[in-house]
Amino acid sequence: MQPPSDETLRNLLSDLYPDNSSGDLQALSSQLLQILGPASVHADPAVGNHCWNGDDVVLITYADAVVDDAKPGLQGLCTFVNRHLGLFSPVIHVLPFLEATSDGGFAVSSHERLESRHGDWSDLSALAEGRRLMADLVLNHVSASHPWVRQFLRDEEPGRFCVLEASPDPCWDDVVRPRSSALFTTLQGTDGCRQVWTTFGPDQVDLDWRCPEVLLGFTRLLKQKLAHGVRWIRLDAVGFVWKEPNTACIHRPQVHRLVEVLRYLLMHACGGQGVVVTETNVPEQENLSYLRSGREAHLAYNFPLPPLLMEAAMSGSADLLNRWLSRWPQLPTATALLNFTACHDGVGLRPLEGLMPQRRLLNLLIACEQRGGLVSHRRLADGVEVPYEINISWWSAMADGGVDPAHLQRDRFLLTELLKLVLPGIPAFYLPALLASPNDLARFRQSGHRRDLNRPQFKAAALARRLDDPDSDATAVLTTLRRALSVRAELQALHPDSRLEVLSVDRVDRVVLRCSYQGHSLVAVHNFTASRLTFDPTLLGGHDDVVWVDRLSDQQFDPRRRHALEPYSVLWLVQP
């Protein structure tokens, strides 16, 4: 994969900055490339010419998720991952690690310094040894304490042009946003009060991407991250970055051009071996718009998957999940979906628009609240607040709704994690979910932030004891999923670029998927009920004189007779 020509960059920049002269655009293009330096500086020949491999998995974690009092966060994380999670971490997504003032690191106050409790840039480089790192570019906003905002308030360069100043006006009535806080916030400047745009809250001040200095600043940050092992770049909330009057201010054409520009810069700096990941928690077709051209993102978060999978596992009815899987999108070459269940945010509900009836959605919200979860809302243009996300740990969500929450909880949890491993694309695991962590009620009560229900920290010593216990849920989960990842790496049919066929479109009780790649095939069977079912191998489309083998357990199945399918069980069937 070779980077495009410099003329491509100039053309993209002309779409972003149409009022700039050709000379200005040429100068800007040269500045951007000069910041990044020669492409060969950051090339990583070990990865080869492909975006991903058959054994690629993403581990999502905070830098300080594992607390060792004797080490900075990144060092403690590195020690833990290297010891326990090698198969889960070919790619590690380290959630925002720069200095920040709120929102779990997403209100970035410095583009130069890491939070001291995490360590320093050398610790990030150490974590990158033997793997690739994924890091965020929080593009839409910075902390109200960021130098750009302070400069803006003093009317000093470059910040005076970098902050988006606006005030309430009917031209903003159609703005789509994910929060119920005020869209505009008043800050005190040297010469009086200034009103700024705050999409995500008063401590997160939106940037004015019409100013080239913003792009230059993020290019410097990109270079710094690349120099310390980052190869995958997550574009946080990218859909919101460009605002225009009398529009919804989301997914504007300039946003798509900006993604192309950032991809160009990443490809230039990495010798064509980087990966751009877009994070847009929006209805499905809007999300996929960043993949459709084949020139923007390489990966996009598969946002409909978590709520559909959660609802199916909770209700025992997989009809909506089957229907959605049967419409799996056909995407351009070298693009795919990032398949996840849990993450550091809540379970987004906007991606369910058009996919789940209101009655089913209401039942899902009730079921989550019964399991200790909470529901966060966003405010529509007419002032009405509607559910936006469910805040709950994935482990708690998989609890039984009856008298004994632990009844079949482990089986239900593993069902969901194993299903995402057979889907086309790249699977991602959130560290607290891998460790079978319940809702962190203490952390939520302390902070008052709903997302903290699913943002626990782990004492390194206590975590070691938990993993040494052969009967702990964490040990059971990791043992099963390690086995599955080892098997997946051996199966060509489960390559990220595989083709998916749903054999259970009209079923409610099960999900049966055929995965195919370069002449190899596998059938994955999932029981979504708490009852024992049966399955008929003659309906799987194989040879009636060749035994079926479950690669997860090595159990063999006669192709001519029915077999039992235990509650929440999963089979990966092949015919040798």
Q: What are the residue numbers of the active site?
A: 236
Q: For 378, what's the count of Cα atoms within 13 Å in the CB-facing half-sphere?
A: 20
Of 468, 469, 408, 413, the closest CA to residue 438 belongs to 413
DSSP 3-state assignment of 471? coil
Tell the residue number behind the tokens 């053309």, with chain if given. Answer: 11
Alpha-carbon dihedral sign for residues 554, 559, 562, 567: positive
What is the Cα–Cα distance from 170 to 165, expressed in whole angstroms? 16
Of 196, 191, 112, the closest CA to residue 149 belongs to 196
For 364-392, b/e burial (b = at least 16 CB within 10 A) is beebbeebbbbbbebbeeeeeeebbbbbb
Burial bucket for residue 328 (CB in 10 Å: 0-12, 13-18, 19+):
middle
Q: For 562, what's the count of Cα atoms within 13 Å in the CB-facing half-sphere?
A: 7
Of 187, 189, 188, 190, the closest CA to residue 203 belongs to 187
Q: Which two tokens stand for residue 301?
A: 């978060």
Q: Which two tokens stand for residue 157?
A: 């360069």
Residues 198, 181 contacting (CB under 8 angstroms): yes
Residues 301, 259 contacting (CB under 8 angstroms): no
Residues 126, 265 contacting (CB under 8 angstroms): no
Strand duo 58-61 + 91-94: pairing: parallel
Q: Which two tokens stand for residue 182?
A: 């005020």
What is the Cα–Cα distance from 140 to 197, expressed in whole angstroms? 10
Give how far Cα 195 sits from Cα of 149, 179, 183, 186, 419, Å.
12, 18, 10, 4, 47
SS3 assignment for 290-316: CCCCCCCCCEEECCCHHHHHHHHHHHC
Of 250, 423, 224, the closest CA to residue 341 belongs to 423
Alpha-carbon dihedral sign for residues 140, 145, 149, 153: positive
What is the Cα–Cα distance from 378 to 2, expressed in whole angstroms? 42
What is the Cα–Cα distance from 303 to 308, expressed in whole angstroms? 9
Q: Tell me: cis bond preceding 212? Omega within 30 of 0 counts.
A: no
What is the Cα–Cα distance from 228 to 134, expressed in whole angstroms? 11
Of 355, 501, 493, 478, the closest CA to residue 417 belongs to 478
Distance of CA 547 to the CA centre of its chain: 38
